[in-house]
Amino acid sequence: MATGRTSAEFIAALRNREQLIGYWSLLDAPIAAERLARVGYDYLAFDAQHGLFGYQGMLNNLLATDTKGSTAVGMVRVEANDLTYIGKALDAGASAVIVPLIDNARDAADAVAAVRYPPVGRRSYGPMRAQLRIGPNPADTHEQTAVLAMIETADGLANVEEICATPGLDGVYVGPSDLRLAVGGATSTDPSVEDEFEQALTRVRKAAEAAGIAAGIHNADGASAARRLAEGFTFASVAADVVHLQQIATSHLEAARGGAR
């Protein structure tokens, strides 16, 4: 089993573009999160944008991630590029926030400002739970938390170099479903735009590398994550608990029915 990192160690590894692997969670199931946190992943990402939980669920799952034996830190994809949503995720103890639908450098700068305290940002001070393990002094908190901008829209792709150059931005994160739609796909898995999609991924990856920031991507399975890391992405998420629950239950059902014949 991998050795767990502190938030500060995880953020340092992220900023150093070390390879990190995480797991994506949509379910409000803290007991499941507690088990997943012990598997060996570097982070668990809780999806507050499309996930099936509210603030209390986010808080409970972050608490579960920090229990004994955990190898992972907690990360949150927030609902929107909003000062309140970002602040609440950080106050609850998230080591990093993934901010969706970043279209340009101004959006990215707003996300950075929401993560940093004055005078460099606009985050309101009140880390009610986070102060037990992150910070709590602003300068220390800035070293121990990260902000990641999602690249998933046509505008975000067109402006990716400027986004990556945003001061204070720690990394970018590809949302492949939306990005495939953005390059002309009829569905989130449309194979007819595979070439355009792969070109887009290369552009994002190279922009992040040129800026010296982390480059992450969402993946359906571990094999896909391994492929993207080999290509040069620096962190990769494997998704997601609700999907994998159905997949494994289906495989066991098929096995049981086959063995019963």
- CA pair distance 48, 247, nearest whole angstrom: 23
- The type of residue at 43 is Y
Contacts 24+ apart (CB under 8 A), 224-229: 225/21, 228/201, 229/19, 229/21
Q: Is residue 82 within 8 Å of residue 120, measured between CB atoms? A: no
Give every CB contact of residue 241 below 8 A, 6+ residues apart in sequence.
23, 24, 25, 26, 27, 29, 32, 36
Classify residue 167 by its DSSP letter: T
Give every CB contact of residue 51 below 8 A, 6+ residues apart in sequence.
25, 26, 27, 28, 57, 77
Active site residue 218: no
- CA pair distance 121, 65, nearest whole angstrom: 28
- CA pair distance 229, 4, nearest whole angstrom: 20
* Catalytic one of 50, 142, 218, 244: 50
- Residue 233's nearest CA partner among 247, 249, 215 is 215
Q: Is residue 65 within 8 Å of residue 33, measured between CB atoms? A: yes
Query: Active-site residue numbers?
Result: 50
